[in-house]
């Protein structure tokens, strides 16, 4: 212990530069008295999130009357401990969304898009929010799914042939045309060079089916749509259900964006789309939907801080949202930037860039309200204990201020978790992973239930004012 005091005494707290490296060592105080891990009590936060009835409700009866996805209804009256932060403009924008929710419950169809980083990957958080909203206001199916999914997800199953290639707006490889669409990812299939020399078409396939591990409403759907663009050469498509041919068609070869829709009187079994062409179109996604209600679409962007929201072709992005009748966009970003902030100017620069993306979305999807979910608590290992990143609270503060200025609703996930240094308690209870960043499935359900209650508290307040 005495020897350890020597470098503790000689090396300053900020460290010393040597050989291009900043060398640090424990202070004398830390040599003799170790830091203690903060242990927050989150029992009430966990206990107050009632997730018990998440799979109650609709059971598909194998028939369709054109109204698959009717709501279960029930009470939507909540008083959230951590409500949405709403400026007057944000409240007005959200009011239009609540009116659209009521229309969905009465038989219309609307979409919600949840864009986020790896915290929502695999339908984490989105799947739970979708189930709750569809129970209350109607709708079935996971909604939009990527043309080529690479993440493990609970809400559907997908396989593709080996010659399919995935492109994204947020991670290489990217497409020069930027024809990703609303999902910010797309896929094409490679052409066999030997066949191309003989002008013979190359085949490629995509398989899609419901997942038994999905929430109950995501396991049910009656409409399947294939979204494509940039088809300049003839492309035939055969669709098989459980290896039986059920549809044969050709894609429209005019280069524009189109949809190939299929309707069923039941939730289809395993669907295989077999495409054949000498030049691949760009596939911008599929959609698994009901006949009415709310479609909640998960768009996970691993490694993104939200800057890539403006990286898709604007016309195609806007068209897909317009066709989907998007009424709400949920953004959940910041987690990939917090660890890199060195001072407050870095935070302000990031939030300023995020504001630009918010303005971009408002321009391209003018009918949609926006909710920004701030970053969760995240821990770094500092002198042997896990602590929140020092600039995380300031990031939340700047996000909330930006949202108020832009007419965007804000939900403080960091605060809902328990605030500063709450993540170790979530990890200790198995509600988050050992990376001290991502929720476990159970933790995601609890966080999502608190968000749902915040959204429904705002809905209840709007409903009360509308009645009075």
Largest distance between two CA atoms of the chain: 81
Query: If you average pLDDT over residues 75-104, what whole number do you get?
Result: 93
Domain ranges of the chain: 1-34, 35-467
Whether the predicted pLDDT of 321 surpasses 60? yes
Beta bridge partners of 140: none
The pLDDT of 294-319, averaged and rounded, is 97
Q: What number of CA atoms fall less than 13 Å from residue 398's CA on the CB side?
A: 20
Which tokens is 302 given? Answer: 């691993």
Determine the Cα–Cα distance for residues 427 and 435; give it in Å rounded to an integer: 9
Q: What is the mean pLDDT of residues 111-121?
A: 97
User: With the CA atoms of 63, 68, 73 and 76 taken in that order, what torsion angle do they form, in degrees rounded to the nearest 10?
Assistant: 150
Residue range 35-50: average pLDDT?
Answer: 89
Distances (CA, A) of 176 to 168, 173, 189, 311: 11, 10, 16, 11
The values of phi and psi at residue 62, to 5°, are 80, 5
Indicate whether 226 pLDDT > 50. yes
pLDDT of residue 271: 98
**CA dist., res. 16 & res. 197, Å (int):** 64
Cα 148 from Cα 133, distance rounded (Å): 26
* Per-residue pLDDT, 60: 46
> What integer pLDDT is reported at residue 21 of this predicted model?
83
pLDDT, position 22: 80
Lowest pLDDT segment from 27-36, 74-83, 413-422: 27-36
Confidence class for position 62, pLDDT limits 50, 70, 90:
very low
**C-alpha distances in Å from residue 326, one per residue of 96, 319, 338, 372:** 12, 10, 30, 16
> What pLDDT sits at residue 28?
66
pLDDT at 17: 84
Task: Give me the mean pLDDT over the 110-122 stretch.
Answer: 97
pLDDT reading at 64 higher than 60: no
What is the arithmetic mean of pLDDT over 150-178?
A: 96
Give the lowest-confidence range in 51-60, 101-110, 116-125: 51-60
pLDDT at 61 over 60: no
* Percent over 70 (pLDDT), the chain: 95
Least confident of 56-70, 145-159, 225-239, 320-334: 56-70
Instruction: Give residue-wise pLDDT tens across range 181-217.
Output: 999 999 999 999 999 889 899 999 999 999 999 999 9
End-to-end CA, the chain: 72
Q: How far apart are CA 435 and CA 189, in angstroms?
A: 36
Q: What's the mean pLDDT in 69-84?
A: 82
Q: How confident is the model at residue 70 (pLDDT cuts 50, 70, 90)?
A: confident
To the nearest whole number, what is the mean pLDDT of the chain? 93
Q: Specify the CATH number for 35-467; select among 3.20.20.370, 3.40.50.1110, 3.40.50.720, 3.30.70.360.
A: 3.40.50.1110
Q: Which residues pair with 240 in a beta bridge?
A: 245, 272
Interval 378-400 mean pLDDT: 94
Q: In this model, does residue 400 exceed pLDDT 90?
A: yes
- Please report the pLDDT score of residue 30 as a whole number: 63
Residue 182 has a pLDDT of 98
- Whether the upstream peptide bond of residue 173 has omega within 30° of 0, thus cis, is yes
């Amino acid at each position: 212990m005495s020897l350890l005091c020597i470098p503790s005494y000689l090396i300053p707290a900020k460290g010393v530069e040597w050989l291009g490296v900043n060398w640090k060592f424990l202070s004398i105080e830390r040599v003799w008295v170790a830091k203690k891990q903060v242990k927050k009590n989150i029992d009430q936060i966990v206990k107050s999130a009632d997730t018990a009835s998440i799979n109650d409700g609709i059971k598909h009866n194998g028939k369709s009357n054109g109204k698959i996805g009717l709501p279960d209804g029930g009470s939507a009256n909540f008083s959230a401990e951590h409500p949405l932060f709403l400026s007057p403009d944000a409240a007005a924008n959200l009011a239009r969304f609540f009116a659209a929710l009521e229309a969905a419950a009465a038989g219309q169809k609307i979409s919600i898009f949840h864009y986020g980083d790896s915290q929502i990957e695999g339908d984490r958080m989105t799947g739970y929010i979708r189930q709750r909203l569809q129970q209350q206001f109607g709708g079935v199916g996971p909604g939009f799914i990527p043309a080529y999914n690479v993440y493990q997800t609970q809400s559907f199953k997908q396989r593709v042939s080996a010659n399919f290639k995935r492109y994204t707006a947020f991670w290489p490889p990217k497409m020069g045309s930027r024809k990703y669409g609303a999902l910010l990812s797309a896929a094409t299939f490679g052409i066999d060079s030997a066949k191309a020399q003989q002008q013979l078409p190359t085949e490629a396939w995509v398989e899609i089916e419901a997942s038994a591990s999905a929430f109950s409403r995501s396991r049910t759907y009656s409409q399947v749509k294939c979204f494509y663009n940039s088809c300049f050469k003839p492309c035939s498509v055969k669709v098989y259900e459980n290896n039986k041919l059920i549809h044969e068609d050709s894609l429209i070869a005019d280069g524009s964006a189109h949809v190939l829709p299929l309707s069923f009187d039941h939730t289809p079994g395993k669907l295989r789309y077999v495409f054949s062409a000498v030049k691949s179109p760009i596939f911008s996604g599929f959609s698994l939907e009901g006949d009415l209600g709310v479609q909640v679409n998960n768009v996970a962007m691993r490694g993104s801080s939200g800057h890539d929201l403006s990286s898709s072709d604007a016309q195609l992005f806007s068209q897909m949202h317009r066709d989907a009748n998007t009424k709400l966009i949920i953004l959940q970003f910041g987690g990939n930037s917090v660890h890199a902030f060195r001072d407050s100017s870095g935070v302000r620069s990031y939030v300023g860039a995020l504001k630009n993306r918010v303005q971009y979305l408002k321009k391209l999807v003018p009918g949609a309200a926006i909710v920004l979910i701030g970053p969760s608590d995240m821990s770094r290992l500092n002198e042997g204990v896990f602590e929140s990143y020092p600039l995380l609270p300031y990031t939340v503060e700047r996000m909330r201020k930006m949202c108020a200025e832009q007419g965007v609703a804000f939900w403080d996930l960091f605060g809902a978790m328990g605030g500063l240094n709450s993540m170790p308690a979530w990890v200790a209870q198995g509600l988050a992973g050992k990376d001290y960043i991502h929720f476990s499935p159970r933790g995601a359900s609890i966080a999502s239930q608190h968000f749902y209650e915040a959204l429904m508290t705002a809905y209840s307040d709007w409903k009360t004012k509308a009645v009075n």
